[in-house]
Structure 1
Amino acid sequence: MKISYRHVSTPEVAYRHISTPEDSSFVVKEFCQPRFTNTFHFHHGYELILIVKSEGKMYAGNKVMNYNEGEIYMFGPGLVHCFCNNSSPVGTDELAHAIIVQFTEDFIGKDFFDNLELRKIRELIQLSEYGIKFSKISSAVNTLFFQFQASQQMKNLIILLQILDELSLRSRDSVQLLTDDPRKIHYKDVDSKKLESVFKYVLENYAGHVDSKSAAALAYMNEAAFCRYFKKRTTKTFSQFVNEIRISHATKLLMGTDNGISEICYACGFDNISYFNRQFKIYQGTSPREYRKAFIESNVSAPSFRPTGD
């Protein structure tokens, strides 16, 4: 049994098959780049990702959310995803860093996970079709990712099983499903490039003006056809997608800055405070002010700032 280990310092293609040497059972990759390649892609197998160093926006299935270093993500077959990290602070040379493990369902043999002792791991693998985010990860789990080595084939296999076992036992408050129903989301290989261009356009411009006509041009479609296409592929309208990115950024600012509500509203691309408040409640179930208050009172990574009123 052979495990392929690759260190990647340059961008790869958008659509990544789990292509291993014929006798390899899974692949380990390590990305160290100024920026992750913000491309849409999906696999025919499974993927585990440890975010060692980076933060930014992540798209999975049809949802947008913030991601941070120290988190682990798991994606099942066909679940499109994309990480786009924030720019490094001016004057620094910080690199985005991630360790990725890709494997097929039968990487350790057909029906192996049907054994009673491994039912928790089997459930985890099945659940990954929705996409999973693991937070509150112990240092012991993170350390396992750094123990993969190119010349220790059997040990690498054991390490992967250890990681899967640890993740399968995580408490509910440290596990978040990323999509509601992956069966409603239909992507094809050819969708990756179109959606990549649109996603990049919105990420680079959400704080200012974003419109469906410009997005349609990037996808080489007329506006009406693009809007139908986008809704069919993502189950949401283009404007809903834009608002979701803006609201995800608003939550980050509410938790990490002392900026006023109005200032955050405009910084996220909204030009009307009432509309911002309505959209925030749609996506978060509460008002921006209540969201910030709940975050501070939770004492989870409580910020040292005092929020200013608006």
Structure 2
Amino acid sequence: MKVSYRHISTPEDASFVIKEFCQPRFTNTFHFHHGHELILIVKSSGKMYAGNKVMNYNEGEIYMFGPGLVHCFCSSSSPVGTDEIAHAIIVQFTEDFIGKDFFDKLELRKIKDLMQLSESGIKFRKIPAAVNKLFFQFQANQQMKNLIILLQILDELSQGSRENVQLLTEDPRKIHYKDVDSKKLESVFKYVLENYLTHVDSKSAASLACMNEAAFCRYFKRRTSKTFSQFVNEIRISHATRLLIGTENGISEICYACGFDNISYFNRQFKIYQGKSPREYRKALVESNVSAPSFRPTGD
């Protein structure tokens, strides 16, 4: 699908760029930037890959990616008969977009610390409603006003506690991607996402990457710091957590619905990734009254 978006601000000499994506689904390619990217998911949910981490994403969430960190969003299919549109607002900027050493000033150090943390990828856990609203205040041909809004957003996000920042990759220096890797990994990622509920195998993945199976397995482990089977299990477990939150299905039913064919293996893998069994995980969510987050913009 051809990506459709409008640049909210696109002067040729702009120090930062704002984009708004509105399309049936997010089907990003694996990609990375030479600067920073800040993104608000206005409407969409699905799977997100950053560095070497696979996780669910939901509407209302804000992410920040640093230079060179590969990432990809892929929406879940919309329910049949609906006209739901995936919607996101994205800001891209370099570390020195206002000038060299600008963020070294005392009053701006927290923003600089935030940008350094974003090299590992950031998901913000608790977001004040005022921050979400700021994203909707960007306007075309209002570069100075947009700059002030961007600084306000960065300031608000940098004021939160360290516990409010979830790092997506433990050590991004261990994840080595080149431009040529994007196409190979994108085809593999799409293959897994389209088939993880049924059958996925490394031989088919290797064929998509135009490699023999043994070479592909070595390549995948070298690039992602995990085996292909670990990657597949991570996607399946992320889907299981969504089902445990959003349905009342039994554990066995969820096991098979996620592509596992052995309940004991499913329980072991779930505990590896989540630190507790599926039953314990669901019980903890019920006790804490956790549900999938929901967000609706309150104005333009």
TM-score class, shorter: over 0.9
1:267 aligned to which of 242, 252, 257: 257
Output one character per residue of 1:145-173: Cα deviation in whole Å (capped at 9) or x when no partner.
01111121111000000000000012344
What are the equivalent positions in structure 2 for 1:1-310 lying under 5 Å apart?
A: 10-11=2-3, 22-301=12-291
- The two structures have a TM-score, normalised by structure 1, of 0.90
Q: Percent identity?
A: 87
Output one character per residue of 1:89-147: Cα deviation in whole Å (capped at 9) or x when no partner.
11111100000000011101100000000110010000000000013222210010011
Residue 298 of structure 2 is matched in structure 1 by: none
Query: Matches of 2:126 and 2:85 in 1, distance apart?
Result: 23
Query: Matches of 2:203 and 2:18 in 1, distance apart?
Result: 40
Matched length: 289
Query: Matches of 1:245 and 1:173 in 2, distance apart?
Result: 25
Q: CA 1:134 to 1:118, structure 2 compared with 1: closer, same or farther past 3 Å?
A: same
Query: Matches of 1:223 and 1:302 in 2, distance apart?
Result: 38
Aligned residues of 2:58 and 2:292 also touching (Cα < 8 A):
no
Deviation at 1:301, TM superposition (A): 3.3
Q: Which moved more, 1:166-175 or 1:60-69?
A: 166-175
Q: Give the counterpart letter for 2:3 in structure 1.
A: P
Greater relative contact order structure (CA < 8 Å, 6+ sep): 2
Aligned residues of 2:246 and 2:292 also touching (Cα < 8 A):
no
Query: Matches of 1:109 and 1:227 in 2, distance apart?
Result: 44
Query: Matches of 1:225 and 1:10 in 2, distance apart?
Result: 32
Query: Matches of 1:289 and 1:155 in 2, distance apart?
Result: 50
Gaps of 5+ in 1: 1-8, 13-19, 304-310
User: Where in structure 1 do 4 or more consecutive aligned residues deviate above 4 Å?
Assistant: none
Residue 6 of structure 1 is matched in structure 2 by: none
Aligned residues of 1:121 and 1:165 also touching (Cα < 8 A):
yes
Q: CA 1:173 to 1:255, structure 2 compared with 1: closer, same or farther past 3 Å?
A: farther
Matched residue of 2:17: which SS?
Answer: strand
CA RMSD of aligned residues (A): 1.6
Query: Matches of 1:81 and 1:129 in 2, distance apart?
Result: 12
Aligned residues of 2:54 and 2:238 also touching (Cα < 8 A):
yes
Query: Matches of 1:277 and 1:126 in 2, distance apart?
Result: 37
Deviation at 1:10, TM superposition (A): 4.4
Query: Matches of 2:2 and 2:202 in 1, distance apart?
Result: 32
Deviation at 1:299, TM superposition (A): 2.1
Q: CA 1:21 to 1:188, structure 2 compared with 1: closer, same or farther past 3 Å?
A: farther
Aligned residues of 1:185 and 1:234 also touching (Cα < 8 A):
yes
Q: Give the counterpart letter for 1:11 in structure 2.
A: V
- The two structures have a TM-score, normalised by structure 2, of 0.93
Aligned residues of 1:70 and 1:135 also touching (Cα < 8 A):
no
Gaps of 5+ in 2: 5-9, 294-300
Q: Give the counterpart letter for 2:225 in structure 1.
A: T
Query: Matches of 2:237 and 2:27 in 1, distance apart?
Result: 23
